[in-house]
Amino acid sequence: MAIPSTGSSTTLASNEPDVAAVREVIEELSDDGKEIIIVAHSYGAIVACEAVKGLEHQGRLKLGMSGGVIRMLFIAAWLLQEGESAPNVIGRNKMEAPWVKFDSGRIIADDPVYAFYNDVSADVAAYWSPQITHSDVAAFATPLKYAAWRLIPTTYVICEMDKSVLPHVQESMVVSTEGAVKAIRLPSGHLPMLSVPEALSDILVQEVGKDG
């Protein structure tokens, strides 16, 4: 789904508009009694963790309510601790991002083919790379307030050829959960939904199947 911080004509003060937009959808589905599986990619995992607060399925059951989030699957994502931000993780892991430039509060992919499309065909890269837009620095840098992965069963897909969120950074974030988050490795770049869609689909079906 589209979120306010991506491609916005104005800059944001935090990721709260993104969280509110995603939460609205989850809340509506939960109130309809739907059991929800969140699939979040990259920055989207930060937003997802915040957005599901109070909408966990088990918590709703205790209140006599149906619906809610039963599982989360994160792909090449920013998996944070409470109080931590993505820039904190970048600094701690000494991760360089030569493909990024900053302009007026925005993050711009200066070389999207290198960062996102390193494992797809030239035709696929040529089609998708012009569609990449900017994101918001303040939204990206907002510290996490709620680590939903502590309460909701969560699987993390480590993308082993990722040039954007480097594999060793992905691994360090999973390790920091001390076993709370399960990791599955996938030989792909940052966008496995483009480069290895069948393999990613198999993982998603496998993990979703655990919930019946």
Structural contact between residues 142 and 13, judged by C-beta atoms closer than 8 angstroms: no
Which tokens belong to 137? 């620095």
Q: Could you give the number of structural domains in the chain?
A: 1
Residue-wise pLDDT tens digits, 165-200: 999 999 999 999 999 999 999 999 999 999 999 999
**Three-class DSSP category at 201:** helix
Which tokens belong to 132? 């990449």
pLDDT band at 212 (very low <50, low <70, confident <90, very high): low
Looking at residues 20-41, what average pLDDT do you find?
98
Residue-wise pLDDT tens digits, 82-117: 999 999 999 999 999 999 999 999 999 999 999 999
Domain extent for 86: 16-206
Q: What is the CA radius of gyration of the chain?
A: 17
Supply the pTM of this predicted model: 0.96
Q: Can you tell me the distance from the alpha carbon of 26 to that of 71, in angstroms, rounded to the nearest whole number? A: 13
In a domain, 160, yes or no: yes
CATH code for the domain in which residue 80 is found: 3.40.50.1820
DSSP structural state of residue 129: G
Residue type at 110? D
